[in-house]
Amino acid sequence: MGSPDFAVPTLVALKEAGHQIVCVYSQPAKPAGRGKALRATPVHSWAQAEGIEVRTPASLKSVEAQEAFASLKADAAIVVAYGLILPKAILEAPRLGCFNLHGSLLPRWRGAAPMQRAIEAGDAETGVQVMAMEVGLDTGGIYATARTPIAPDETTGSLHDRLALLGARLMVETLPQIAHGGLKCVPQAEVGITYAAKIDRAETRIDWTKPSEILDRAIRAFSPYPGAWCVLPDGARAKILLSRVEDGHGSAGTTLDDRLLIACGQGALRVLVVQREGKGVVPADVFLHGHWIPKDSRFG
């Protein structure tokens, strides 16, 4: 049970390890692109190409949906970024239970955006965990953990890719141990609980009056999607997808040189990767070839 790119490596790994995938559940196809044609999720597309049955219910709350799921007589349900709440009847249907791959070190960052919030908060490390699923939000016990440091220049994009592969390996290693009863499920700690709220579009605008370190973490947390954005001196919008903290001081939002060093409330940020609205993602030096921005220009 999964939907986005993050879930595909686990599905691939389970199949390659010899598990019989009796069915794949994924979010319904959604309009995408300029033509707004319906586009299946990455998990749906991969499973379909492999000849695996795919189901895309909008909800699992109905008796019919729950009976259809139970009729699979699955040993286990593996859940990775599925996007639907699993009612108690679904959780209890598989023989062994439902197991979630979560992208944080629980109980820190329960919820929808654990990778983004870990980077935004300046966490030194994160990881993936295989957890038992229960009715509460990411409250189940932990079967296995794999940790990884968060690099100073880490973006959600780079962390996403590493955790997806790390999680796939962890799930394949852990599932047989669960099946054979050789792995203990450890309850989560009752202290240190934090919630990773879904990214709100309103919080992605860059506020240059904040300290440069805070802004750098937010830029990396929102890169590549949805992207931290600002208003260029010419009035156009642009996303800043990578930056670096540097020394410098001046009026917040003002360029301190002609190479995109921008003053913040404290310190300064060097813009490294940028995307002007309607254009592609480019390094800052390439961007400046077509959009020269001199010293003392103002960003909004």
CATH number at residue 162: 3.40.50.170
Residues 6+ apart with CB under 8 A from 297: 233, 254, 255
Query: Same domain, yes or no, for 163 and 71?
Result: yes
- Both 190 and 235 in a single domain? no
| 216 and 173 inside one domain | no
Number of domains in the chain: 2
At 49, the pLDDT band (50, 70, 90 cuts) reads very high
Query: Residues 167, 61: one domain?
Result: yes
Place of tokens 């979630």: 100
Residue finishing a domain among 169, 195, 221: 195
Does residue 237 contact residue 229 with C-beta atoms inside 8 Å?
yes
Query: Does the structure show a pLDDT above 90 at 290?
Result: no
Is 70 a member of any domain?
yes
**How confident is the model at residue 52, as a pLDDT?**
97
Question: CA-CA distance, 49 to 82, in Å (whole number)?
Answer: 19
State the pLDDT at residue 197: 95
Residue 295 lies in a domain: no
Based on the fold, state whether residues 157 and 98 are members of the same structural domain: yes
Does residue 213 form part of some domain? yes
Residue 205 lies in a domain: yes
Given a cut of 90, whether residue 144 has pLDDT beyond it is: yes
Q: pLDDT class for 183, splitting at 50, 70, 90?
A: very high
Tell whether 104 is in a known binding site.
Answer: yes
Confidence of residue 137 (pLDDT cuts 50, 70, 90): confident
For residue 154, being part of any structural domain is answered with: yes
CATH number, domain with residue 217: 3.10.25.10
Inter-axis angle of helices 8-16 and 42-49, to 10 degrees? 30
Domain stop point among 195, 215, 232: 195
Average pLDDT (29-53) is 92
Q: Which two tokens stand for residue 73?
A: 């007589």
In the listed set 142, 166, 195, which residue is the last one of a domain according to the structure?
195
**One domain for residues 189 and 209:** no
* Contact between residue 10 and residue 2 where contact means Cβ atoms under 8 Å apart: yes
Domain assignment of residue 297, yes or no: no
Asked whether 142 and 130 are in contact (CB, 8 A), the reply is yes
Say whether pLDDT at 136 is over 90.
Answer: no
Give yes or no for residue 34 having a pLDDT over 80: no
Residue 182 has what pLDDT? 84
Give 273's pLDDT tier (boundaries 50, 70, 90).
Answer: very high
212 is in an annotated binding site: no
How many Cβ atoms are within 10 Å of 96's Cβ, its own excluded? Answer: 14
Identify the band that residue 217 occupies on the pLDDT scale cut at 50, 70 and 90: very high
Could you tell me if 15 and 100 lie in one domain?
Answer: yes
298 falls within a domain: no
- pLDDT at 246 exceeding the cut of 90: yes
Q: Are residues 153 and 266 in the same domain?
A: no
Q: For the chain, report the end-to-end CA distance as a whole number of angstroms.
A: 42
Tell me, yes or no, whether 97 and 229 share the same domain.
Answer: no
Determine the Cα angle at 169 with ends 167 and 172, to 5°.
105
Task: Give the range of the structural domain holding residue 20, as residue numbers without chain letter.
Answer: 5-195
Express each pLDDT in 169-182 by its tens digit.
999 999 999 999 88
Residue-level pLDDT at 32: 81
pLDDT (0 to 100) of residue 31? 87
For residues 104 and 217, membership in a common domain is answered with: no
Tell me if 107 is assigned to a ligand binding site: yes
For the chain, give the mean pLDDT: 96
Task: Give residue 236's pLDDT band: very low, low, confident or very high (50, 70, 90).
Answer: very high
Mean per-residue pLDDT, 249-260: 97
pLDDT for residue 192? 95
Whether 299 is covered by a domain: the verdict is no
Same structural domain, 104 and 215? no
Tokens of 100: 């979630």
Mean pLDDT of 117-124: 98
Work out the angle between the directed axes of helices 8-16 and 156-179 (0-180°, nearest 10). 40
**Residues 167 and 90 placed together within one structural domain of the fold:** yes
